């Protein structure tokens, strides 16, 4: 971290920041010194930490960490949201998702929450497609897992659930972080089967196009950078939430149920692709829609 050290060398080569493994094993002084050095080279540089729990009150080795209080970490990996989103899209556990969002966005300072690494898979987890559609790996040997694949029906269901899950993590506060190959439909159980090479020429084009479309919406909609967050509806079948600021709002709708839902609102919610107002939400589908006017004046509800 000194002159000509690791941080300076790589930042001058174009690195914008660092993700620190097992941040709870690094001292407060180390984190503070690293962040200070990084910011002296690039004020917009960023330091992420690997933290699996609530990072605002993390205790490690009998010490309460000061990640967000002492200019140590700009943000962390959002594992709590990952667990809640998986539980919601697979099982409809709205309570866990609601409580997790409430915890994250009330415990974390807003600038840290806006930078959260929202993820569904990493090198430390099974592939998200396998998590959503595959059989449990409990009790199976590595030899058995090396050849275990989902059936066509399981993959189809998993792809549908992944679309719902990715729409959520890409539109709540934070930045979507994609583990290579998840967007291409890779599957795989625990390490080392979650680290296979990228499937060049065999990508799932349906998923790729979906991820790209979400990326286009994010790139053109500034509300996702730091807009406020509010849950509109949350039940075992339907999730709807808004991101808003003083100029407008965006509504995400997730229908994981088996029936259509209809919009009951005094405002239009329009598709980014077609510009048409959407009033009916199909089963097993997700939507990111542009609202008109001020969110404070909008009355938005849903019915079957």
Q: Which residues are catalytic?
A: 21, 50
First to last CA, the chain: 58
Q: What is the DSSP string of 82-133?
A: HHHHHHHHHH--HHHHHHHHHHHHHHS-HHHHTT-EEES--TTS--HHHHHH
Rounded CA gap, 173 and 252, in Å?
12
Read off the tokens for 116. 């959260």
Read off the tokens for 135. 């059989």
**281 phi, psi to nearest 5 deg:** -115, 115
Residues 6+ apart with CB under 8 A from 51: 23, 24, 58, 67, 76, 77, 79
CB atoms within 10 A of CB 76: 29
């Amino acid at each position: 971290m000194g002159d000509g050290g690791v941080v300076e060398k790589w930042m001058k080569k174009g690195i914008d920041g660092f993700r620190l493994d097992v941040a709870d094993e690094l001292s407060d002084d180390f984190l503070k010194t690293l962040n200070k050095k990084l910011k002296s080279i690039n004020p917009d540089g960023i330091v992420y930490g690997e933290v699996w729990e609530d990072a605002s009150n993390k205790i490690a080795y009998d010490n309460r960490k000061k990640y967000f209080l002492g200019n140590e970490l700009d943000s962390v990996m959002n594992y709590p949201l990952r667990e809640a989103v998986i539980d919601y899209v697979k099982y409809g556990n709205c309570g866990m998702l609601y409580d997790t969002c409430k915890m994250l966005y009330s415990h974390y300072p807003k600038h840290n929450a806006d930078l959260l690494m929202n993820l569904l898979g990493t090198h430390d987890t099974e592939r998200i497609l396998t998590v959503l559609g595959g059989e449990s790996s409990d009790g199976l040997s590595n030899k058995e897992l090396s050849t275990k694949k989902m059936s066509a029906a399981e993959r189809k269901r998993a792809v549908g659930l992944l679309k719902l899950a990715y729409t959520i993590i890409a539109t709540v506060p934070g930045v979507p972080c994609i583990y290579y190959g998840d967007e291409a439909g890779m599957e795989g159980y625990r390490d080392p089967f979650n680290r296979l090479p990228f499937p060049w020429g065999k990508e799932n084009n349906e998923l790729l196009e979906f991820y790209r479309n979400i990326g286009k919406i994010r790139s053109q909609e500034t509300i996702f950078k730091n807009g406020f967050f509010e849950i509109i509806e949350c039940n075992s079948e339907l999730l709807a939430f808004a991101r808003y600021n003083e100029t407008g709002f965006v509504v995400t709708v997730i229908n994981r149920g088996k029936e259509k839902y209809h919009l009951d609102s005094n405002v239009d919610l329009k598709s980014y692709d077609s510009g048409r107002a959407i009033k009916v939400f199909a089963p097993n589908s997700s939507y990111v829609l542009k609202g008109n006017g001020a969110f404070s004046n909008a009355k938005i509800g849903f019915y079957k």
